[in-house]
Structure formats: structure tokens, C-alpha cells
Structure 1
């Protein structure tokens, strides 16, 4: 057969034409997923102490319930997020329950899937099909689901099977012996439910549950500076481990301005964004944690070269916690994101900055801008992933293969220049540190990431 396969370096015994193929075109371009947030919250629904994914704003009530924690997750989606990795915190609590009789010696216990203070009730009735019955589940006066089960001699078994297969709100178990018909009930309440109790340490314990998931940025539903500090410690640890992430927190404008300013400045970290006032919207007021959640959603949903500066707030009608011109200046110099009105009277983000105020030895002014942090994260991820894939294919630590690594990295730099994220840059072998053994060192020359034009100085030379 013409065209049999050969291995590199192999010599065949017989004359003929032999073939092999190899990768001559590099590796697929890496792109960070967009719009993935994380939230650690108190809520009245959902699994406790586990991470679960909410995939749209329409799923918030079904998966998270109601209350402040649910509002925070909803605001992340309002900002534009695609997914939110969510952790419900707390200890204890109890599901609500109800026992339905199914004959003299048998019963079915209905229990909510999670510990909750939500108030559910059920109705059991005949269905239009005489061979079927219905279990209707209500929250307040609103029906949330309808479950059909087979009517007959042993309805307890068929009801339990149908509930386990269909319900998003309750589970069921049958107890007792014999067979029987499930008794009809109307708006019978499930009782005894309670939400888990929460303390500050529950937030610290919950952060670890997010470590199995990818996300761009994380927040909490608390305005407590102690909880903010614990989240900051978690984010710093993850960055040291190689995860590139940010966090968004906020405090209500009812807190004294000097206190808010000092809290923002105290973070002094390019990975931390602090929101210091709020926005009045058509559906309510965003301030503190919910304002931070909205800005987080806006930040993670844009491209890596998008700036938050000047972005308007969808649904915004006014500023909660109006500030003087001097306070706006102080916010800008102390790492505090605040809202202001644009020329059309619509609330906007005044300045897309993080809390970095005093530069460290390895930091430049660019790290103070959220856009440039995102661009730098993008560049680092693209190049590290590309080089890691190349190294997994057993390249050598010689001159040619080191130049090959540089070519891969510079291809990504060139692509980001064409995309408008970088102005210039080149990766080279570090001339000051010679390669040795299995190690090689590289550095970047003239690496300049772009910022937006956000300050224009106009000099009008009028003449009489």
C-alpha cells in the first residue's frame, strides 16, 4: 500500500513512499472566557456550602431565592454577566415539611430541597385525566410548579417517584405499610423551615468552594470591612497561585465619606475595586454591595480593552449619595469608584479605577486602571498558555527552540496590537540571565498597553 506511516527517524526495510504528519501551524489562540462572576452570599434558597452556577437573571429566584443575596446576583447579570458561580453560606437551618396521608398506615413526607424560610404550600387534586392526579406547589399565591402522578391503589409510591423526577422545590419519602390513595388537600402549608444562621467566618470558609471554578471577578453581599478584608486575602492568595482575578466591594453612602475614602485607600491593590456611592434606578437604589455587583457585571462582560470610565448605568435616574466637586477629586486620588451624572443627566461611572494608590516596586501607573489590569491579564494568559502548550511537546532548551518560544509570544503580542489592546512590545531571551539546564529566562522590550483617552486638555487661544 502506497503511503504507509513512518515514525520520525525510522528507516523502512522495503522501497516505497512513506508519510507522516506533524503540527507546522502552531497552536490555537487562547481567549479568556468573558462574563463569568462569582458571589458569596446569604440567601433563603440553594445548597449550603457548595458552589452552583446561575446561568441567567431569569434563574435567580429559582436557584437563589429572594432577598439581598439574590438581589446581588441579579445585579451582576444586569451588568452583563453570562454566568455567576454562587456559594450560599451559613450553618444549620431546616427545610420546611408537610405529611400527606395515603391510607391508614402510609404517608408521604414532602420536604423542601434546602433549608429555607420561603413559605410553600401544596394542593393535591384530581387531574383532567382520570388516571392522573396533580400536586401543585405554591409560593404565596403564585403557583411555581405542577407535578402529575399516577392515580390508583398505591399513590404514595407514584407520588414520590414523580416528585423526585420532576420537582425543583421539594423532595419526598414514603413511610408506613400498605397501599392507599393520597388524600386531597388544598393550600396546605409546609412548616418548620428556617434559613441557616450566618457569621463573618462563614464567608471566609466559603471562599474555598469557588476554587474549582473559573471566574473573572468575585464579590460578597456584605458591606462589612472585616469580610472585605477576608475576601482580599483570598484573592491575593489566588493571584500568587497564578489565578488572574479581581474583586469588587462597596459601602453605602450613609457611611461617612472620610471613612469610605480610607477604606478604599487601605486596600491599595490593583485587584480590588471599591464602589463608594450609589445609583437611584427605576426599580430601586443600588448602593454598597449591590452597586459593586452591578459594576462587576459591567467590567467582566466587556472586552479586555473596554474601559468603565463614563459608562452609563442602565435604568439609572439619579445619584444616591451626591458628592461635591472636591469629594469627586478625592475619590479619584484615593482609589474609589463613584457615580456621577453625565451631560444628559444619566448616572455614569466617573472613573474606572481600582484601589491602587501607592505603587509597589514592581508596579507602574498603568496598574491603577481597571482596563489596563484586564489587558495585562489577557496578555499574560495568552502567552503563558501558548508557551505551556509548546513546552508540553518536548521542545529543547537550545537557541532555536528558545527563539521559537519568542516567536509564539510575539505572535500573541502582534495580535493584541492589531486588536487595539497594545501599542508595542516584544519578548526576547533575557540577555542578562543565561539559560542553563532545563531553565530559560525571557523578558519583554517596549511593552506598552493602551489606555483610553479619558482626560482632554483644551487650550482656546481667543483674540479680540
Structure 2
């Protein structure tokens, strides 16, 4: 445990968007969850990918995810079968999810993204169980009509919102967009510190820079084009400090299609 903890904090000076560990041991995964929570409080946003113990029932795996209840944590709840017929270890499922979350651009989703060299799902779940997993913050592999194995959902472990959260934090894609926005803004605005005056011209410079990023991300189909970067009227600027509000609508992907059929029995001649 001590070695893992040292490893987490050794990574702190570097930017990365996903972190996972090579074990599903509860004590180590708890340490990673604590580290990610601490990192988020100081403005470092990485998504931790964890794995569930397959000897547990699905409901127990869901309860494990709910216990984390964190937008920066994703949990994979099952595994898959290799093309040679052997079952992949859970840690390989964790690695698959971590790689997909890390590599998929934030304007795209991992939902229904097929994985390579997988042929089946050892555990057979019902539709209601897949829905239970989604509602409980667990990502499961499923099998599509072409026989491919893919991620059935793209949820985080967040299930109970606090007063400062909206349902967008329950989705990996939307969380990634928000993480990216905050990171890119931090990089741009740190260059303004000590370089512009804390007067009308300097504040306008900051606003112009912020709006420029919002327009860029709108053009990248990551947020809507109605974003705003404005001074916070509730916190007037002081001689050396200024507060701003960033208001954006991030874009989700289409994940559910509902079909309502209306047939009629029309007599024919």
C-alpha cells in the first residue's frame, strides 16, 4: 500500500487524464480513490478506472460502485472471453476500459465501442441487470448483434448528486469534456498571471482569452456555441484578484433510441 501511494504522488507533477492500478484488491483501489479525490480538490482532474470482483453478485458490484459515488471514478463490472476461449482476468478489463477512456477524444463516447480480440461474455445478464448496472454506476461489457464485445455504457460511479453537481457528471464523456475545459483554461490563464494589469483592459484580455477557448471547443463539437465567460458580479475584482464565471453546455451523444410502432389493420381490396 505504501508503494502504491508513493507512486500516485510521484505522478502528481505530470498531466494525465486516466489512472488505474494492476490489482482489484479493495485496499489498493480505495487508496487510488482517495488520491483522485485529493487531486481533484487541488485542480488536477484524472479519471480513476477500477474493477469489481466477479465472485460478487451484480448487486454487490453495483453497491461497490455506489460507495465511491464520484464523477472522477469509473468501474468495470465484468470481463470477456479471448478469441482462444480463455476468460480475461478482471485487471485486463480494467486496462481495456482505462485505455478506451484515455484514448477516446472528448467529443466522442466509448459507448458501444467494440474491443479487439474478444469473442464472448462469460456472464449472461438480462436487460434489467444491464439497466441496474447503468443506474448504479457500473460499466459492463455486452455483446452486439454482430457478435462484437463492446462497452454497454459510459457512466461514472456518481449516482447521488450534491448541490453543486448536475447529471452530466454521471457520464464519462461529459466529465472528460469538463475536465478538458478546466485544464485548457488553466494552461491559458496561468500565462496571464503577472502579465496583465488588474484593470479594465487586463480583465477584458482574460475574458477574450476565455471566450476564445469556448469558441474553439464549440468548433470541436465538445460544447454548445452559447458559452459565456464573464466577470462574477457577486465577487468584484480587487487590486490584484478577479473572479469569473464560465457558463457552458456540454454535448452528450445519443445513447438510447426508443421506437413507438403504430400498426393498423387496413382491409385490402
Query: Same fold judged by TM-score > 0.5?
Result: yes
Moved over 6 A (4+): none
Q: Counting strand residues as a fraction of each chain, which structure ranks higher?
A: 1
| Structure 2 CA distance for aligned equivalents of residues 392 and 291 of structure 1 | 46
Residue equivalent to 1:288: 90
- Among residues 174, 181, 184, which one is paired with 1:379 in the alignment? 181
Q: How does 1:380-419 map to 2 (within 5 A)?
A: 380-393=182-195, 395-419=196-220
Match of 1:349 among 144, 147, 151: 151
Partner of 2:108: 306
The equivalent residue for 1:327 is 129
Report the Cα offset of residue 242 of structure 1. 1.8
Q: Where does 1:56-455 land on structure 2 (aligned, <5 Å)?
A: 200-282=1-83, 284-393=86-195, 395-423=196-224, 424-445=226-247, 447-455=248-256
Structure 1 contact 341–348 (Cα < 8 Å) conserved = yes
- State the secondary structure of the residue aligned to 1:215: coil
Native 8 Å contact 1:333 1:357 kept in 2 = yes
Q: Tell me the SS of whatever aligns to 1:228.
A: helix
Q: 1:201: Cα distance to partner? A: 4.1
Structure 2: segments with no counterpart, 5+ residues: none
* Structure 2 CA distance for partners of 1:386 and 1:208, relative to 1, 3 Å: closer
1:351: Cα distance to partner? 0.4
Q: Which moved more, 1:420-429 or 1:383-392?
A: 383-392
Q: Which has the larger radius of gyration?
A: 1
CA-based RMSD: 1.5
1:235 Cα offset (Å): 1.1
User: 1:253·1:287 contact (CA, 8 Å) conserved in 2?
Assistant: no
Cross-structure match for 1:456? 257
Task: Indicate how the Cα distance of structure 1 residues 317 and 231 shifts in structure 2: closer, same or farther if over 3 A, else same.
Answer: same
Structure that is richer in helix per residue: 2
Structure 2: how far apart are the matches of 1:205 and 1:274? 23
- Tell whether the 8 Å contact from 1:267 to 1:355 is kept in structure 2 after alignment: yes
Give yes or no for contact 1:313–1:347 (8 Å, CA) kept in 2: yes
Show structure 1 runs of 5+ residues with no match. Answer: 1-199
SS at match of 2:150: strand
Q: Secondary structure of 2:121's partner?
A: strand
CA deviations over 1:420-449 (Å, ceiling 9, x no partner): 00113110111222111211111124x100
Which whole-Å CA distance do the structure 2 matches of 1:436 and 1:451 have between them? 38
> Distance between the aligned counterparts of 2:25 and 2:103, measured in 1?
26
Counterpart residue number, 1:57: none
> Shift of the alpha carbon at 1:210?
2.4
Question: Which TM-score applies when normalising by structure 2?
Answer: 0.92
C-alpha spacing 1:377/1:252, structure 2 compared with 1 (3 Å): same
